[in-house]
Each structure stands twice: as structure tokens, then as C-alpha cells.
Structure 1
Amino acid sequence: MVTLAEVARHAGVSASTVSYVLSGKRPISAATRERVESSVRTLGYHPNAGARALASSRSNIIALMVPLRTDMYLPVMTEIATAVATAARAHGYDILLLTGDEGPEAVRRIEGSALADAMILMDVELDDGRLPLLRAATRPAVLIGLPSDPDGLHCVDLDFAAAGAACVEHLAGLGHREIAVVGEAAAVYERRTGFAERTLAGLRGRAAELGLRLLHRPCEGSYAAVAATLSRIVDERPGTTAFVVQNEAATDPLLALLRQSGRAVPEDVSVVAVCHEQVAARASVPLTSVAVPAREMGRRAVERAVALVEGRGADPEAVLLAPQLTVRASTARTPADT
């Protein structure tokens, strides 16, 4: 088993310097910190968790609150959670996973105990009931998501409003004037879940600016639900030439149903999705999409939480990742323009 003294010799520093780098008790120059951290990784050093907790009054655990709901697309949530766990382990922290829909009670439980040094929260609503407690908490907290008022909070998220706008701009550039949005399940909007509301706001805002007609319909992810939603859209807006899919679970059913109804993608209708990169690339017709950067969001949230725990945190801010739209085989110019 590698010892702290061996790490010190490898890095060419004193044992106390290694200890300070690991505990964050004293400021250490960036160059020295990088040298020590490199030696830790190279040698595979793992501090004794019990001794470190006693010495630092820390648990070296981060609580991850990720309510698992049936109306959410769980693969993306799971990837974000996995990214959080992986990044935390790289920084010497473990994850306490809270999957129940406890709301403010979960925050009270972590804040009132020594279970965790920091909190990372997912599934953030615009008017999230946990926010007042987080603003008053003594333990650092980072949101993977953006509420309507992020003042005083540390947030990391995709800029979903810009993602929605990018989808509309791409379709408008191809001549599409009638766009339908296959949205998340109705319950997601009823909770005012941040990513869904902000994507929709971006879609609507840019469509209005460009003079396009946009129809939004919430949709469950099942085949039957997508079939009913598509039928409703066609009845209400028979001139629709493009779809934006916000519900990842609906992408495959929608493509299959369009094909069965005799509408070829992209010759007759175009489809854009806001979804995971793999979902888009592996679809029956590879989808033009804005990717949800799950790993990047998880990694950045952990880095911010660790910095706050170790006294290296900056002022609260919302870090929004710029959307990247990748053009694939599912979009083309409108039939009238070809």
C-alpha cells in the first residue's frame, strides 16, 4: 500500500505539503499542487478515509440528489449521475445517492447531519422548493440545472434556451415555416422543470422572431402516446414540414410512425432533436441534434463542489454550456424548395 511519505518523495516535497494539498488546509502554489496530484495519480495513493475525516472534520462524501421519476428520460439522468460519481472519485470523494422525491426534506437531512460535505442537485424546477434552504445552508451546494432566479446559487447546465433557438434557426434556414414540437410529458411542464421550460421558451422566442408558426404538444415517450400526438399535430397543422423532439424517448417511435404514414425523413419532413449524442447517431435515420453534454455537466458540477468544500470556490454563478448543433441525415430543405 502506497504511503503519504512515498508520495512526498516522488513529488519532491515534504510530507506536510502533501497533507496540505490533500486537505486544503493551507494554500499551496498551483505548480506544487499539480506535482503532488500527479504523484498521487501515478502511485495510486488512497488516503485512509477514517483518518482523513477525523483530521479534517470532513466526510469526503458528496450527496447527489437525483429524483428518479417515470416521466423523465432516465438514461441521460443516469449518465449525469455516473459522471458525477466518476469525477468525485477522481477528487477523492464518494457519492451518497438520494433518489427519492423528498424535496426540501432531503436538503434538511444533509444540512443537519455530517453525512456529506456538499450537495449536488438535479431535476431542478424553475421555482424549486429546495432553493430557500440551499441559500441559507452552511454546506456548499451546486445545481445541475437553472432555476428562474439563480441569484446566490452555483449552477451548471446546458443553455437549453439557446438550444431551442438553434433548432429553430436550423430549420428556418432550410425553408421550414410550420414546425411542431414533440415535447416532454405533461407532468414535466406542470412541475415547471427548468430544462423543459427553457427549451420551449427558446423555441417559441426564436420562432416568433423569424415569423414561423410553432405548435407545441406534450407527449409521453410510449409508442401509443407518440402516435396519438402525431395524429393530433397532423390534424391541427397539416402543413407541418418539420418536427423538433424534446422528449428523447419519443425519437424512435416518431421516426417509425412517420415512415408508416408515408412521410419520408428528410424528403417530406425534417426532424431535429435535443437529446443525447448516441440517441441521435443511432436512430433509424441519424438525427440532426443538439447534444445534452451529460458528462461535462457532471464533471463541472463536481469540480465546483470540491472547490467550495476546499475553500477555493468563486462567487455564485450560473455556468451555461453553449449548445452544439450537429447536422445529420434527418433534415433537408422543404419539399417546395427542392
Structure 2
Amino acid sequence: MKSPDQITIADVARHAGVAGSTVSYVLSGKRAISEVTRNRVLASVRTLGYHPHAGARALASRRANVIALVLPLRVGMQVPVVMQFAMAVVTSARSFDHDVLLVTSDEGPAGLRRIAASAMVDGILLMDVELDDSRVPLLRDLTRPSVLIGFPADATGLTCVDLDFHRAGQVCVEHLAQLGHRRVALLGAPPAVYDRGTGFAHRTRAGFTEAAHRHGVTTVTRPLPEGTAAVRQGLLDLLDRHPDVTALVVQNEAAVGPVLATLPTLGRRVPQDVSVVAICPDPFAEQTSPMVTSVPVPAEEVARQAVALLMRKLREDPVPDATLLSPRLTVRDSTAAPPPP
């Protein structure tokens, strides 16, 4: 029995029942291979424990088999959700026999230029995309292929994928309007997220406001600072100024729990007095009490599609400019008709 170090491409090819060149194409991504064949080859790779030598692999394909995930850690970011994206990118990249270089420093265009100029990576994924993102002009000129997880205001000449946050804001309002709510508040991301023009936050707010106007719903929108005490104070101020609010849309994962915990202390039962909808990953929504009606942020699916698009660009296959995932609302225990006037 051979050890993993002794396994060759020929061994993988025999195990998978394909030609050795097919195994090479699957591992290098140099040619399009059918999904069925690719999966069979990768299954044989895993079963036999084959690990191509990175140096030989790079020499053969002139590739590093590494992609960069540029994820600057900034104020206001929800780290657990960000890590869901990062882990999903790593898992998806491994299915294409690529590793991931995580770049967390906030270097802007200079950092991108440094990464692209090296031989360390084959392509670049970018997260935390701003509407007026200073990295965008450079991306259009780089020779390395790139994919953005998020959309700038002008996405011309770029490949972008994300949840349709504009539609997500609309879906939340439509659900509450159908229940009969006519005074709804959006509790958004921390102020720093709006201040730097992060796309998802602004798009959600725009969709929320647009749908509210269409359905005759009066709205209040405000960012929520970080920290349980700050969330509680923000909610107190909101309900003191707008006591007629009967529903809240929360786009701040860290605030969902504190909002649900604070409302009963203010004499507001959920959902009998106030309904709550969250835009957050399912695990957040399912672990609250009561379980919250939500539009999930599909981190795994967005990451999978982003990696797949980048791999297609590495093969020089055509890709769509924009990939928007449609939001879905899951009704749970936190929404109901408003109390009678």
C-alpha cells in the first residue's frame, strides 16, 4: 500500500477511471471539465490522500494555486458573520485544489497592487465593498482576475456577487405591511459602516424606504452603535421619540439578541406589541427567544459562487458581470399583526 507521499497522478487516474491528463486539468483548472468527472477525480484525490507538490504544481501550470481573500478588518464589522464568509471561501477554494491567502490589513489600492505584483496568488476576492471604493479603479486595470463580494456604485467592468440587499430591505417591509403595520423602524448597522459607504447597508436602507413608501408605511431609520448598553440606549431613545412604532427591522447581527431582551423590560412584548424582523444568518435567528423572523445572509452560497466565478475567470471562461442572490424571508415567532389602536 502506497503512502500519500507516493501516490501519483497516474494512481488517481486509475482510481477515478479517467486519463492522467484529465486529472491534471481538474487540479490545475486549465480546462473545463464536466462537474460529474471533476467530482469523481476529486473524490479519488481525497480517498487516496494525493497531495500534489506545490512547487511542481506551480511550475507545471505557471500558477500558485492560491487565491487572495482581501478582507480588511474595520470598525463596525460583525466578525462572526465575516468569518462565516471566510471559512466558506476556504472550503470552496479547496474543492478547486486552491488555498487561500487571507489579507486583513486595510491597505486600499496599494495593498491590492502589492498582492497582484507578486507571484503568490492567481486571483483576488474582495470583501467589505464600499459604494465609492478606492480599490475599484485599480481592479479594472489589474492583470490578475478578481471577484467582489459586494457591489460598488459603479460595477462596470467588474465581476460582483452578493445577496440582493436592496430587495432584502423591501421583503422585510412587505411582510410587515401585509400584517398591518404602518409605523416601522430600521435599526441598521453601526454608524461607521454607513459613514464609510459600505454598500450592503446603504442598499438595504434604500430598499426598506422605497417599499415603505409604496405600501404607505411611515418609517424611522437609524444606525445602532456597538455594544449591548448602546443598543439598549438606542432602542430606548427610539421608542421614547416614536412610541407608535409597532415593528422593527434589525440589520445588525450583534444587536438582535439585545433588542429582543430589552423590549420586554420596556413593557413591549414580542410579537404582541412589537414585531421584529432581522437580516442575519439563520443561526442567529434560530437561537434567539423568541426565534426571529428573518431574511438570512447566505454566506456559504455567496462565497461558493464567488470562488466558482474566480475559477472560471482563471480558465478564461465567460462570466456574468453581476450575480445577485434573491432574498427569502423565513417567518418565525417574532412577527404578528400590530396591537389594536
Q: TM-score, length-normalised on structure 2?
A: 0.94
Match in the other structure for 1:21: 26
What stretches of structure 2 of length at least 5 have no aligned partner?
none
Contact 1:288–1:327 (CA under 8 A) maintained in structure 2: yes
Match in the other structure for 2:300: 295
- 1:296–1:315 Cα change, 3 Å: closer
Q: For this pair of structures, how many residues does the alignment match? A: 336
Asked whether 1:170 is paired with 2:175, we answer: yes
Match in the other structure for 2:203: 198
- 1:225–1:106 Cα change, 3 Å: same
- 1:20–1:72 Cα change, 3 Å: closer
Contact 1:167–1:290 (CA under 8 A) maintained in structure 2: yes
For residues 127 and 38 of structure 2, what CA distance do their matches in structure 1 show? Answer: 31
Aligned-pair CA distance for 1:38: 4.2
- 1:186–1:28 Cα change, 3 Å: closer
Identity %: 56
Instruction: Map residues 129-278 of structure 1 onto 2, 5 A cutoff.
Output: 129-278=134-283
For residues 289 and 60 of structure 2, what CA distance do their matches in structure 1 show? Answer: 55
Q: What is the aligned-residue RMSD (CA, Å)? A: 1.6
For residues 169 and 273 of structure 2, what CA distance do their matches in structure 1 show? Answer: 22
Asked whether 1:76 is paired with 2:81, we answer: yes
Q: Residues 16-41 of structure 1, C-alpha deviation per residue, up to 9 Å, x if partnerless?
A: 33223333445656665454344334
Asked whether 1:333 is paired with 2:337, we answer: yes
More divergent stretch after superposition (254-263 vs 34-43): 34-43
For residues 328 and 20 of structure 2, what CA distance do their matches in structure 1 show? Answer: 45
Q: Residues 178-209 of structure 1, C-alpha deviation per residue, up to 9 Å, x if partnerless?
A: 00111111111111101101110110000011
Q: Residues 197-225 of structure 1, C-alpha deviation per residue, up to 9 Å, x if partnerless?
A: 11101100000111110100111131221
For residues 100 and 36 of structure 2, what CA distance do their matches in structure 1 show? Answer: 28
Match in the other structure for 2:318: 314
More divergent stretch after superposition (174-183 vs 68-77): 68-77
Q: TM-score, length-normalised on structure 1?
A: 0.95
Contact 1:153–1:316 (CA under 8 A) maintained in structure 2: no
What stretches of structure 1 of length at least 5 have no aligned partner?
none
Which amino acid letter does the alignment assign opposite residue 246 of structure 2? Answer: T
Match in the other structure for 1:87: 92
For residues 26 and 266 of structure 1, what CA distance do their matches in structure 2 show? Answer: 54
For residues 8 and 164 of structure 2, what CA distance do their matches in structure 1 show? Answer: 44
Which amino acid letter does the alignment assign opposite residue 317 of structure 1? Answer: D
Name which of 98, 101, 116 aligns with 1:96.
Answer: 101
